[in-house]
Amino acid sequence: MLVKFGPFWNGRIIFAARGNQLARFVNEGIRDGIVFFKTQKSERGLKAQVSIADFKRLRRAARLTHTRVHILAKYGWPFIALRWWRRKTLMAGILIIGLTLVALSQMVLSVKVAGNNMIPEEQLLQSAENLGLKIWVWQKDVDTRKIAKALVEEFPDAAWVGIDQQGTQITINVKEKIRPIVQTERGNLVANRTGILHELMVIQGTALVHEGETVKAGQVLIEAPASLDNASAQPKPGVVSKPNPTLPQAIPAAKGFARGRVWYTAEATVPLSEEKIQESGQSAKGWGIKISDRVIMITTPESPFEQVTKEVKTHTYSLGRNWHFPVEILSVDYKELETVHLTRTKEEARQVAEKQARDEISSKISPGAGIIEEHVRILAGSADTERVRVETETYEDLAVYPNP
């Protein structure tokens, strides 16, 4: 590379010489101190390269030997520079464009805001501009850390502000605070299920429903006395608020209880015959080692069963907190699975369906609720299934505090 750079930097002239005394021409040139490069002879004469300074000195040798010399090509930086020098305006234009691009790349050309929902973008941009972050300013004059800190202080809804600079583009990334939702129902007693209200007792607050009324889940049953959160409620005269342990003491809460009847239904369909995959009780164990992602099983490399569920445990050994032994021990527990064909009588299928439906209802019923009545209805299904619906009526507490 450097060997090639020398001729390019100094410049070379490639010339052709014609005459009858070409060897003498070269000898005379050498005597004058001229260095010839890549000298080649062809039918048309001699072709060689000399440096720019040496070319002028060739004149004497050419005259002595009656040799005609003419230039074939000019190679190197001096000729390029001369060509550029002749086109000064073009070069000046290129230089100006280059300098302009360099200058523009040092400036801020675009400011964007990302991640804001509540804080208006215009306000953020205006504040950033007041702090010195705007377009057409030098990037070195923008102290992003200081501006980000100032923006966080200025906008209370902003939890974090980060300024990301990518070339000439600056992005203000905002993470907004997640404010707790103000509960308008705070302190009220509301119905946790849909049902018919049978008993209502108000200890504190105002009853908004009456006995015998159907209430929906979420409906306010007893409204809390007037407070900062619930200014519309009117406390009953003569009632003294007692502090509720589930709420801050400053907020008076509604007190009382509401009991009523609630209905639950669940349906289950059980086929008379079905294929079921279950564990057969057979099992096998194997162990191996694990190096990086590669697993080498020492015993029981393949599962001995056709259908199997596999439980793999890895034992890692570590020294201290950070260094882990690269080889881990694996233990694999194979449990055989088998497909069982179950055939049930109609009675058996009905019992299974009934149990499934009952289990579903039990999971929904509030703890402590008393079951008043229960109906099991056999529904019309297809010939090979049993369909059962269980309807349960309970008597339970309905009033709860929303999100206590």
Partner 1 sequence: MFDKLSKNVGNALDFPPDVSGNGPKITITGRQEVLVENYQDIVEFTTEEIRLSTLEGELCLIGQGFVLRTVLATELRIEGQLTSLTFGGGSDR
Q: Is 66 in the site for partner 1 (CB under 8 A)?
A: no
Whole-angstrom Cα distance, residue 19 to residue 24?
10
Query: Closest CB to partner 1 among 29 and 252?
Result: 29
Reduced 3-state DSSP string for 157-199: CEEEEEEEEECCEEEEEEEECCCCCCCCCCCCEEECCCEEEEE
Tokens representing 377? 């209805």
Pairing type for strands 255-271 and 385-397 reads antiparallel
Q: Is 257 in the site for partner 1 (CB under 8 A)?
A: no
Q: Is 42 in the site for partner 1 (CB under 8 A)?
A: yes
Among 5, 6, 9, 38, binds partner 1 (CB under 8 A): 38
Query: Residues in contact with partner 1, total (CB under 8 A)?
Result: 18
Q: Is 39 in the site for partner 1 (CB under 8 A)?
A: yes
Q: Which region, left, alpha or beta, applies to residue 132 given φ > 0 means left and ψ of -120 to 50 means alpha? A: left
Query: Closest CB to partner 1 among 42 and 89?
Result: 42
Q: Is 145 in the site for partner 1 (CB under 8 A)?
A: no
Q: How far is the CB of 8 from partner 1 (least distance, A)?
A: 17
Tokens representing 57? 């000195």
Among 5, 10, 41, 101, binds partner 1 (CB under 8 A): 41
Q: Is 26 in the site for partner 1 (CB under 8 A)?
A: yes
Q: Are the C-beta atoms of residues 186 and 205 closer than 8 Å to each other?
A: no
Q: Is 22 in the site for partner 1 (CB under 8 A)?
A: yes
Q: Is 330 in the site for partner 1 (CB under 8 A)?
A: no
CA distances for 103 relative to 136, 139, 163, 184, 288, angstroms: 11, 10, 22, 57, 64
Query: Closest CB to partner 1 among 43 and 306?
Result: 43
Q: Are the C-beta atoms of residues 44 and 17 closer than 8 Å to each other?
A: no
Q: Is 48 in the site for partner 1 (CB under 8 A)?
A: yes
Q: Is 5 in the site for partner 1 (CB under 8 A)?
A: no
- Considering only the stretches 38-46, 83-91, 113-121, 223-231, report the one whose residues sit in contact with partner 1 under the rule CB under 8 A: 38-46
Q: Which of 141, 143, 113 is nearest to 126 (CA)?
A: 113
Q: How far is the CB of 23 from partner 1 (least distance, A)?
A: 5
Q: Is 14 in the site for partner 1 (CB under 8 A)?
A: no
Among 14, 21, 36, 287, binds partner 1 (CB under 8 A): 36
- Considering only the stretches 31-39, 133-141, 252-260, 284-292, report the one whose residues sit in contact with partner 1 under the rule CB under 8 A: 31-39
Q: Is 37 in the site for partner 1 (CB under 8 A)?
A: yes
Between 88-105 and 77-86, two packed helices, what is the crossing angle to 10 degrees? 90
Whole-angstrom Cα distance, residue 325 to residue 293?
14
Q: Is 53 in the site for partner 1 (CB under 8 A)?
A: no
Q: Is 16 in the site for partner 1 (CB under 8 A)?
A: no
Whole-angstrom Cα distance, residue 281 to residue 309?
12
CA atoms within 13 A on the CB side of 243: 4
**Interface ranges with partner 1 (CB under 8 A):** 22-23, 26-27, 29-31, 33, 35-42, 46, 48
